[in-house]
Copies of this chain bind each other. A is one copy, B any other.
Amino acid sequence: MSHTLGSLAQRFGLELRGDASAPIDGVCALSPGQPGRIAFLASAKLRAQLAGTAAGAVIVGKRDAGALPGNGLVAPDPYVAYARIAALFDHSRDFAPGVHATAVVAPDAQLGEGCGVGPQAVIEPGAVIGAGTYVGPGCTIGRGARIGAGSFLTARVSVGHDVRIGDRCQAQPGAVIGSRGFGNAPSAQGWVEVPQLGSVVVGNDVEIGANTTIDRGAMDDTVIGDGVKLDNQIQIAHNCRIGAHTAIAACVGIAGSAVIGSRCMIGGACGIGGHLSIGDGVILLAGTMVSKSLPGPGVYGSTSIAMPANEWRKQTAHVRRLGRYEQRLKDVEARLGIDSKQEGERSEQDDL
């Protein structure tokens, strides 16, 4: 299927600048750009690249429209417009409907119209797969699991028994949805397994990254809201609830029963403690460790930052001596007849 600048403008409701008949057969970076392809300019930092681009057309915002060196599209949000146009050229999720001869589909599993089931995939009894959904090579879908319409499991994704996944979701290789929650009761003889009888409920339009794991609930379900985007290698423990449209970067761990609000942005490698609540619209900087509930909206951080190792060693030694520094300060204050402030150490410690 071929596209022109004019057809793209019409399809996505964008303002056309230049030659409507210019063919657009792909996307490219603004610099150097490629003839016949369309680039975008969304960041003021890259504005200087606009004049010299070799791109066949450029998607720009209103304020850069006057600086277009040739063909272009003017969009309220050039990055979003680019994303939608680029999707026309993304064939990574194309598939041929049908069940591969090597796939194992239980006789009573239900497959919607236009489903694809890849080689070596396994769909266990009672599972229900919605129309147009693809279950890629090596995926395993447990008993009674339900996946909605138009979803895409790339390869080697495991969906546990009775898990429910919505429409238009995608999961990358190695993702595990519905593993056993980590529940064990201590006893004198060691740990006694606590059965995890809940499931996982994933909303619509959810992305689940490679090797991300989502545990099933102990009694109630673990819940992932609509439009949630999960990067790779995230761990979501039993009974967590993630609010709609929250995005979580890679390597984040969320302990059991944590409740995350909607439209949060969680940076990479954050850790969130169990039974906490994080408000709507919270932003966590990368590496933040959360051990108390946080109201939203707000931006939070905690991590210390890389420095030369000898400086880091000195700093660490200073921090360890803070109690002694404070005592020395008190001694100085006493000598000067200054009344030392009451620092309330105890109550702050109780927070931790």
Contacts and interface: CB of A to CB of B under 8 A. Distances in A.
A84 B195 CA distance: 8
Interface string A301-339: 111111111101111111111111110110111011010
A303 B289 contact: yes
Contacts of A320: 307, 315, 348
A284 interface: yes
Contacts of A227: 190-191
A11 to B, nearest CB: 15
Given A77-B187, A86-B194, A318 B322 contact: yes
B301 A313 contact: yes
Contacts of A196: 90, 92
A219 interface: yes
A48 interface: no
Given A77-B187, A82-B194, A173 B309 contact: no
Interface residues of A, number: 138
A303 to B, nearest CB: 5
A51 interface: no
Contacts of A226: 190
A140 B140 contact: no
Interface string A236-266: 0100000011010111010100000000000
Interface stretch (A2-10, A13-21, A62-70, A204-212): A204-212
Interface string A151-174: 000111010110000000010111
A319 B317 contact: no
Nearest to A255: B268
Contacts of A79: 185, 194
Contacts of A310: 299
B312 A306 contact: no
Interface string A180-205: 10111111001111111100000001
Interface in A8-37: 27-29
Contacts of A345: 314, 317
A301 to B, nearest CB: 4
A76 to B, nearest CB: 9
A147 B228 CA distance: 34
Nearest to A28: B219
A317 B90 contact: no
A277 interface: no
Interface in A32-68: none
B211 A174 contact: yes
15 contacts: A86-B195, A184-B247, A191-B245, A191-B247, A211-B233, A213-B233, A232-B237, A253-B268, A268-B273, A269-B271, A271-B286, A315-B322, A318-B319, A324-B341, A329-B332
Given A83-B192, A172-B179, 8 more contacts: A83-B185, A86-B194, A102-B102, A300-B309, A301-B306, A315-B319, A317-B345, A328-B340
